[in-house]
Amino acid sequence: MKNPPLLSIVVPVYNEEAVLLQCYRRLAEVSSDLDAEILFVDDGSRDHSAAILDGLAQRDPRVKVLLLTRNFGHQAAVTAGLHHACGQAVVVIDADLQDPPELITEFLRRWQQGYDVVYGIRTVRSGESWFKRASAHWFYRILRRLSDVDIPLDVGDFRLLSRPVVDVINAMPEHHRFLRGMAAWTGFRQTGVPYVRQPRAAGHSKYPWRRMWRLSVDALTGFTVAPLRIGTRLALLVAVIAAIFSVWLIVQKMTHPANLVLGWTSLMVTVLWLGALQLGVIGMVGEYVGRIAEEARGRPLYVIGRTVNLEPAESIPPGRRSMPGSGR
Ligand code: UDP
Ligand code: MG
């Protein structure tokens, strides 16, 4: 079999006929001196994208094309690309040229310095709506607060992943995928390269707010169980209020019985304590649901960075099995 290439460039494509040729040209240019493959994943496009990709693959043997039967969504398309990419390093880039392909050279340099995940940090997002920028800004900050994983801020899927990282991500069977978080989750050394996000070269965004919403829910549910713990926290709060209120009411009842309407004291005390009890039980259920969610994701329990004087056991999750620096 032919040796695997050094670099795979994975490009998800959904109805991108307007930019595909331009995209290919820029990618071919940056990778012309490299041992690289360009893997386009057509995510069920309904325009002429597939035909254009066929043409490109005929002319350039470095172009590989994977066509999905229907539109499975951006994250699924990138996942398919990661499964089929053979490179020692894999770069994921959108087809619309919002992320400059020329940055790949810098990504490769960082990778050769020993980083396993190199992502682009969007310093400026031009050509995107105020709503998209603001929601992304706040969303990433909230997610980072809630999650234990070190998910970098203002970062998209434009990134380089080393082979060990791709292997670990491929071994994560979860269905609701948030690849940015998954790459961070693997725990390998990561670094960022700042860049200015351009407006789309042509065509329009395939991420309406509905899809953005779904992606954020996937990110939150995939990387934090914090919302499920709200029940327990609220229960504690209500219990404290109930305790203070009960004492106050009882003292009032004894000192100024005439001031209080008959039955109000017992009613309030019962309602508050029942509220606390119910929230507490919901919190308990939440803890179980959180654990079920974590089990259901089926992620590896740990990832091995490297070993000394020890061969990793065969049944362990994949990760960096080879010695550091190999394959570079
Ligand atoms: N994309 C895809 N499947 C989809 C939606 C988008 O493969 O269901 C691709 C799209 O062709 C592009 C990339 O994912 O290459 C990012 O999409 P888009 O530029 O529309 O998102 P935005 O940059 O507006 O967030
Ligand atoms: Mg885009």
Q: What are phi and psi of 180, to 5 degrees?
A: -60, -45
Q: What residue owns the CA closest to ligand 1's atom 8?
A: 73
Q: Which is the closest atom of ligand 1 to the Cα of 44? A: 3
Q: What residue owns the CA closest to ligand 1's atom 12?
A: 94
| CA separation for the pair 162, 171 (Å, rounded) | 14
Q: DSSP labels for 13-64? A: ESS-TTTHHHHHHHHHHHTTTS-EEEEEEE-S-SSSHHHHHHHHHHH-TTEE
For ligand 1, say whether the CB of 43 is within 6 Å of any of its atoms. Answer: yes
pLDDT, one tens digit per residue, over 273-299 is 999 999 999 999 999 999 999 999 999
Collapsed DSSP state (helix, strand, coil) of residue 142: helix
Q: According to the model, what pLDDT value does residue 319 have?
A: 54
If pLDDT is split at 50, 70 and 90, which confidence band does 113 have? Answer: very high
Q: What residue owns the CA closest to ligand 1's atom 16?
A: 94
CA of 197 to the centre of ligand 2 (A): 9
* Nearest ligand, CA 11: 1
Query: 177 pLDDT exceeds 80?
Result: yes
pLDDT, one tens digit per residue, over 126-152 is 777 888 888 888 998 999 999 989 999
Q: Which is the closest atom of ligand 1 to the Cα of 212? A: 25
Q: According to the model, what pLDDT value does residue 259 have?
A: 74
CA of 77 to the centre of ligand 1 (A): 10
The two three-digit tokens of residue 104, written as one number: 């790949």
Q: According to the model, what pLDDT value does residue 291 have?
A: 93
Hey, which bits of the chain come out as E strands? 7-13, 36-42, 63-67, 89-92, 117-125, 155-162, 190-197
CA of 306 to the centre of ligand 2 (A): 36
